[in-house]
Amino acid sequence: MSVKIGVLGVQGAVAEHIKTLERNGVEAVNVKRLEDLSDINGLILPGGESTTIGRLIVQGNMKEKIQELAKNGMPVFGTCAGMVLLSEKIEGGEPAHLGLLNATVNRNGFGRQVHSFEKELNIEGIAEGFNGVFIRAPYISEVGPSVKVLETIDEKVVAVEQDNILAVSFHPELTRDDRIINYFINKCK
């Protein structure tokens, strides 16, 4: 079965995700307009600036369609800012964007750009010894009962799965380790 995965292309690490998908034999769609959401098997919400991406989703009339597709079971993968976009609550009172993940997220929870770091992660059921690249990374401070925690750093949740939703605090597209993206591709098949 050929798989077609969209990468929300309004802002952020779009090209890196597209290259990673294509390297793994998947047709990648740069989702810039509402029409681009039709005929895809999954959607990646890349890292970038969550407030800007959230605003551009609304301006492009894509918010309701993304929510509908996800609620109907289409796999969605959020990396870094994508985790913030997916979460139902954002610490500090910022309104939620898509509200699809039963979790509370702390935006830039690991600090500013200068606090960026790499750490070896063991993502349950997906990848042992994975090099996580954290750039102005969020973390999840609270999860609902339907959310499976896949990895933590000092009790801060950095990888989760809730049915068809996968979210990580870090940037797997900035490594050559494709185990997480292949796990997502398999969810989309």
| Residues that are catalytic | 80, 171, 173
Identify the sign of the CA torsion 133, 178, 19, 187: negative
Residue 126 in tokens: 């997906």
Q: Find the length of the chain.
A: 189
What is residue 32's DSSP assignment?
-
169 dihedral zone (left: phi>0; alpha: psi -120 to 50; beta): alpha
End-to-end CA, the chain: 7
- Count other C-beta atoms under 10 Å from residue 101's C-beta: 31
Identify the sign of the CA torsion 103, 144, 169, 100: negative
**What's CA 26's distance to the chain center, in Å?**
17
